[in-house]
Structure 1
């Protein structure tokens, strides 16, 4: 089940509760992605930013700040920063992965070219650092700068681990924490920092974002073998790109000689044929890899909810708890 067809939509309730702040964030994004000297920058950026994404990451920053009682202006800057970092990484990822579809639309690198996608991504990273500095908080700058570095590390680690059947779940989780969870946790953490919360509450916000991001990515990887095209990417993309995600890692550890030969041919050597995706799914089901991966995603969502228990009682807190359930609703 896709997020769009789930019975309840906590991200929409969050958007309603944070509508004024999100309007300010969207205005700041449009203002800061402008460029007098290079009109292609707003063209490329707008194609992705305005493609109907749910803006979950910037909403997490706004939600954390609101829940913690922040009344200043800089949560808007930080939310825009988070969205710029996210958009920049998507532009770069689509070039690295040679993707042709993002959020159900042609990717920027397909519509323009790889050079434009990479350079506009660089521009957005620069803009994000300008926004961080404007908050005047070294702590915030440290958190988001570290997140940007961790994201890049995660992507490079994924490149080096790709197609290597010796890749372990430990390495997989490092990749997930890098490329996905790092920005989720930074988004929630800076909301607490800007609100002046004590360290234990800031840590709880970090833990929530970290667990939510891990659950989100595991679900995304699982749906590669059983979702629908409505999730915004083609089914089997990860398999075709020879990515070692959790279901495959678990199936490889249990493979017999024939299955091992299949994974060697399709993943390690990249010699894929018609019908291989269906064979891969059959092997995953045979070893219960899809079911155990589903259980792992659910356990990370539960950890996210547990992290909220020490935070102030607030309607936003309930929405964040529901969001953790919602992230895994696609696989339940």
Structure 2
């Protein structure tokens, strides 16, 4: 499904929040500076200014706007969320030995692994400075817990990614850790800083959690059926990197002994040969795991939309509802 650029929910949300996002971008540029280590802004700018959608900080701004917030602390929290996200990307690219991010060479390729890791650490530190400025222990607790959960999810993924015993429950734990934790924290702190009723804060958390899960499942599915020009990844990168994502987990769960041996050789042992990706895709087609994975993503998107019910009627709520639908509409 080709959705015209002007009608994408993300673009409409960006337009509605343009003034506040400009202030967040200015804050990000200011706080990523370093008087003593010029490499920090060099590395950070390479990733921050690479044209990402800024979805996570927008979720914080959207939640605050939806809940009627009148102050400025949401700007710092949006910048915090983006710094945490950027730090995890820098670290992920080192762990994954990635050479490309958003269609551009990764920081670890342009500089080195040490620079990526240390600049990521700096951004985590900057994010905590921004959190503290709100004066809210609850906000600090939410984002600190999210940071720990993200790291925990990455470690779990590292140990589970090539283990064929990894099932859908473990996969969901990984996704909740590495992706959904920051989505849910981004939306929840927008409600907390607005002093919204607890029912609304919980609704914002639930929305972010379900949206993040739908987003990651969709991303994993696009690895096997997406347009590399649009995704910035080659079809089958996850297979080549021996990552057990949901389409493969579903195929492994139904595999006969011969098929299981194929998955052991290619995923667990990493002995891949020409034609293996095509065979993997054929096995996924045999068990229709791409369709089943799409249904899972759609289910989580529907949960995200349902979670918005307790929130006040508002154009931002409508945009968030549409955004959840768009996350899976791009799979069609």
- Give the TM-score normalised by the residue count of structure 2: 0.98
Residue 287 (structure 1) aligns with: 287
Q: Does 1:119 align with 2:134?
A: no
Alignment of 1:30-49 (within 5 A): 30-49=29-48
Q: Could you tell me whether the CA contact under 8 Å between 1:140 and 1:193 is conserved in 2?
A: yes
Is 1:144 the counterpart of 2:143? The answer is: yes
**TM-align CA RMSD:** 1.1
In the TM superposition, residue 324 of structure 1 has moved relative to its aligned partner by: 0.3
Equivalent runs, 1:56-205 vs 2, <5 Å: 56-205=55-204
| 3-state SS in 1 of match to 2:187 | helix
Q: TM (normalized to structure 1)?
A: 0.98
Counting only pairs closer than 5 Å after superposition, residues 226-245 of structure 1 correspond to structure 2 as 226-229=225-228, 230-245=230-245
State the match for 2:311 in structure 1. Answer: 311
Deviation at 1:198, TM superposition (A): 1.3
Query: Runs ≥4 in structure 1, deviation > 3 angstroms?
Result: none
Match of 1:25 in 2: 24
Distance 2:275 2:71 in 1: 56
Distance 2:133 2:113 in 1: 31
Equivalent pair of 2:5/2:11 in contact (CA under 8 Å) = no
Larger relative CO (CA 8 A, sep 6+): 1 or 2? Answer: 1
1:244-283 equivalences in 2 (<5 Å): 244-283=244-283
- 1:63-101 Cα distance to aligned partner (Å, 9 max, x none): 000000000010000000000000000000000000111
1:265, distance to aligned residue in structure 2 (A): 0.5
Contact 2:6 2:12 in 1 (8 A): no
1:330 matches 2:330: yes
Gap runs ≥5 in structure 1: none
- Give the Å deviation of 1:8: 2.8
> What is the alpha-carbon distance in structure 1 between the residues aligned to residue 6 and residue 292 of structure 2?
24
5+ long unaligned stretches in structure 2: none
